[in-house]
């Protein structure tokens, strides 16, 4: 389904206000859910809206939220901040066979500013994905299995780095968030995770579908179509459960 994604309407002052509110709250912010307008906007480039101290503290908060969720990535729009900033880290201990199937290897912590990716080669891979902003769902998504990421580090250095396998999937998932794209926009075969007791794929769990799976898929498709069109009026559904690492 194609949909137009508008640019972020928030100016530098508004972005600073949102960030300062989060930094001064004294508690970790919630992860916003599908329907929040920040998830359906093209986030603004990081371009001096925040001081070096504010940026450093925000990255620290985002990393804490990602760990507590738990997840392997978090984009600033998932905290309601329309800024091209994301954190990535995958240090989960998973079954070696599952890791080999997914070409999954540990990813050290990264904070990326103004990222953009391009596919490397023509290879593609399909796996289940979940998202901390789509609580209880997962779906099969086909993505390039290698990408070149161009981004800035927090100190402003320009970097180019290739990623492959599961790391490439994480990079694409988080960068998509900054363009107002959710993984359901690229989904092939959605299922309702909460109804089937499935662990989301970015966290490494396996999918099992029992009797009635076709009905679950039909209900999931209707639900996902609704989420794709969701505006600010859709109620926020709360944070991803602690047993479901996602991004």
From first CA to last CA, the distance across the chain in angstroms is 22
Q: Which of 174, 193, 209, 240 is flagged as catalytic?
A: 174
Q: Is the bond leading into 52 cis (omega within 30 degrees of zero)?
A: no
Question: What's the CA gap between 227 and 22, in Å, rounded?
Answer: 26
Annotated catalytic, 20?
Answer: no
Q: Which residues of 90-123 are buried (b: 16+ CB within 10 A; e: fewer)?
A: bebeeeeeebeebbbeebeebbbbbbebeeeeee
3-state helix, strand, coil in the chain (%, to 5): 35, 25, 40
Catalytic residue positions, numbered: 174
């Amino acid at each position: 389904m194609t949909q137009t994604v508008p640019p972020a309407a928030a100016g530098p002052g508004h972005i600073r206000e949102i960030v300062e509110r989060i930094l001064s709250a004294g508690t970790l912010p919630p992860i916003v859910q599908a329907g929040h307008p920040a998830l359906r906007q093209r986030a603004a480039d990081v371009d001096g809206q925040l001081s070096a101290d504010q940026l450093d503290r925000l990255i620290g908060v985002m990393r804490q939220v990602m760990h507590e969720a738990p997840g392997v990535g978090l984009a600033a729009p998932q905290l309601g901040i329309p800024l091209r900033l994301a954190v990535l880290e995958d240090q989960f201990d998973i079954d070696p066979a599952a890791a080999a199937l997914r070409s999954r290897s540990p990813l050290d912590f990264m904070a990326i500013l103004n990222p953009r990716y391009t596919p490397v080669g023509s290879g593609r891979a399909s796996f289940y994905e979940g998202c901390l902003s789509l609580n209880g769902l997962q779906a099969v998504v086909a993505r390039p299995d290698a990408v070149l990421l161009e981004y800035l580090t927090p100190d402003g250095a320009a970097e180019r780095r290739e990623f492959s396998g599961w790391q490439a999937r994480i990079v694409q998932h988080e960068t998509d968030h900054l363009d107002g794209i959710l993984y359901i926009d690229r989904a092939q075969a959605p299922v309702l995770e909460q109804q089937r007791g499935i662990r989301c794929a970015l966290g490494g769990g396996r999918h099992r579908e029992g009797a009635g799976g076709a009905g679950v898929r039909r209900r999931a498709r209707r639900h996902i179509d609704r989420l794709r069109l969701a505006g600010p009026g859709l109620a926020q559904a709360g944070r991803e459960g602690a047993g479901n690492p996602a991004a």
